[in-house]
Amino acid sequence: MTMRCLALSLVVCATMAGAQTPSSGATLLRRADVSLQVQPTRGRTAQDTSYLATHYSKREVMIPMRDGVKLFTAVYSPKDRTGPFPFLIARTPYSAAPYGENAFPRSIGPGAAFAESGYIFVQQDVRGRYRSEGRFEHMTPHRRIKKGPREVDESTDTYDTIAWLLANVNGNNGRAGMWGISYPGFFAAAGMIDAHPALKAVSPQAPQADWFMGDDTHHNGAFFLASTFNFMGACGRRGEGTAMSCSRGFDFGTTDGVKFFLDLGPLGNAEKKWFKGTSSGWSDMMKHGSYDSFWQARNILPHLTSIKPAVLTVGGLYDANNFYGALKVFDAIERQSPTTDNAIVIGPWWHGQWARDSGVFVGDLKFGERTADTYQRDIVLPFFEAHLKGNGQWVHPKAWVYETGRNRWRTFAQWPPKEANSQSIYLGAGNTLVAQARASTSGYDEWVTDPAKPAPFVASGGADMEPDYMARDQRFGASRPDVELYRGEALTQDLTIAGPVSPTLFVATTGTDGDWVVKLIDEHPDGFQELVRGDVMRAKFRKSFTTPTPLVPGEVTQLDFTMPDVFHTFKRGHRMIVQVQGSWFPLVDRNPQVFTDIYKAKASAFKKATQRVYHSPAHASRLTFRVLQDPVIP
């Protein structure tokens, strides 16, 4: 989404007139995505449509599905007669615009070089969106068993689309590929299940996979308020007919997100004050406060079995939206479809950045090279060229991963790398980080979390999930009384961690529920605090996401959760910092700290609570990660 784009589908706001690329202190315009299939083209201005108009012809068709519903589809065919050419398909809920057979996008495909290389590009409005017929359903549930032509899903719609294209578009070579970023990434992943034999290569990029467990609506059961509200306010509300337009972002009337969402009050007020029945997606979410059948049906991961096309999943280390989805799609195919030609790219990017700019920097972090250009030139273009135009064979590593800290690309035969060894670092007395649990006189630290004064997730109090928030200096939170900071000694040698980061916290509270936010930070010698990874655990889901249970006030409770992967080197002279806090607002909604269905909670339910985190030998709170010894690299 960034909700500014639940799913940076295609061109995110920054590619639109007047928008800015995120930089230190800069934010995107508050407008919904238009379509990531329309990212800026390097070498030509973003507004230049002359290349496509000169070299491609366009045809608009309504393709019939097996149940009779017709889907709007734009087909761009090379005027060059030296083909045949393969299809490269993008299915999107964010509009296959521009509409009209004489209207051309600024650019097309996963990168600028694709148009010059020659493909038959296909852009399709998914069922129930914009000019397509039918009913739209968020994260369309996959039907494992289909008893007749009326039982359809994104897999069948993709299959039927490819079958029609093969039979009705001249000059094709009988092969098709798919790609998509964010929400379109979900449609790419869903389309490769039970795939048409002609579908040879698929690239789900920042795909949404499971809206409750880790994508941009929830993390570990905690509701991601800013991103979800923005997306449903911009792209989830009813437009004309069935379009549900994303053409206008939500107008907050302020840049102070903390104030806006505090003034909103409990989540139930969003429906009364703003949505008023216009957003079925928001209304549906508010009816399902745990991981019930509604959410489980929208988890695409269990269905990624026996995948026949080659798969190249793409994700960003600083992707605030769907890095979880990229990791989990790759992992699900590795485990459930081991014979699939399956690979992953993990770059130093915010959501969709690899298709939008050169990837030189994110927020306050600069990498000293055009990281997205390397991906475009050496990875994604060769992937599709080999499988759609060549012999389908492409020698490649299992994973390309960018190592932050040292700022370089690395390749691996497995991700996370098997040679990385598990190691833990412990919270210690006196707000220290230590190599092993030590006895202390107090054994815990405590603070008061007040829902009326939550800790912000950015210093500026943004009203949206800022796309570069993970690359911003974290010193703004260190002086708050409701943030505990644990600092390690200056490192005497480089320390590289590769893979997931897993907190184990021993906690207690005076309430019956609570959130625990953990941040792993790299403190530079100049004092800059780089957020390596941060995430939240909602305590009532500690035993089960389907059956939440209350905390017992004052009772020590163990919380275990896993944060998304990192590949980062803490350099010699830097320090590791861990921050622990009870709120992260408005990125995450406020926990009333009373066991209840938060989606239906009244204002009176929100209470202050004293929270503790323990660090005694018997209750050794810690972070566990994998350490990779640096090899000699020629």
Domains in the chain: ranges and CATH: 2-412 (3.40.50.1820), 421-627 (2.60.120.260)
Distance of alpha carbon 432 from alpha carbon 435, whole angstroms: 10
pLDDT value at position 246? 65
* N-terminal to C-terminal alpha carbon distance within the chain: 41
What is the pLDDT confidence band of residue 235, given thresholds at 50, 70 and 90? confident
Q: Could you tell me if 196 and 309 are in contact, meaning their C-beta atoms sit under 8 angstroms apart?
A: no
pLDDT value at position 213? 94
What is the pLDDT confidence band of residue 17, given thresholds at 50, 70 and 90? very low
CA 383, distance to chain mean position in Å, is 22
Distance of alpha carbon 505 from alpha carbon 249, whole angstroms: 39
* C-alpha torsion sign, points 238, 244, 247, 250: positive
What is the pLDDT confidence band of residue 234, given thresholds at 50, 70 and 90? confident
pLDDT value at position 462? 72
Residue ranges in 358-477 assigned as alpha helix (H): 371-375, 381-388
Give the lowest-confidence range in 36-45, 46-55, 390-399, 599-608. Answer: 36-45
Distance of alpha carbon 282 from alpha carbon 231, whole angstroms: 9
Query: Which span out of 5-19, 225-239, 290-304, 469-483 was modeled with the highest average pLDDT?
Result: 290-304
Q: Higher model confidence: residue 326 or residue 23?
A: 326
Give the lowest-confidence range in 125-129, 167-171, 263-267, 390-394. Answer: 390-394
On the question of pLDDT at 88 being above 70, the answer is yes
On the question of pLDDT at 290 being above 60, the answer is yes
On the question of pLDDT at 18 being above 80, the answer is no
What is the pLDDT confidence band of residue 466, given thresholds at 50, 70 and 90? confident
Phi, psi (deg, nearest 5) at residue 454: -70, 155
pLDDT value at position 15? 29
Per residue in 38-83, pLDDT (tens digit) is: 333 333 333 356 889 999 999 999 999 999 999 999 999 999 878 8
Per residue in 433-452, pLDDT (tens digit) is: 998 877 655 699 999 999 99
Q: Give 338's contacts (C-beta < 8 A, 6+ positions apart).
A: none
435 closest CA partner among 261, 622, 223, 206: 622
Phi, psi (deg, nearest 5) at residue 38: -120, 50
Per cent of the chain over pLDDT 70 is 89
Q: Across residues 590-598, what is the average pLDDT?
A: 98
- Give me 74's structure tokens: 């734009």
On the question of pLDDT at 100 being above 90, the answer is yes
CA 102, distance to chain mean position in Å, is 34
**Mutual angle of helices 154-168 and 183-191, in 10-degree steps:** 80
Ramachandran bin of 324, using left for φ above 0, alpha for ψ from -120 to 50, beta for the remaining angles: alpha
On the question of pLDDT at 161 being above 70, the answer is yes
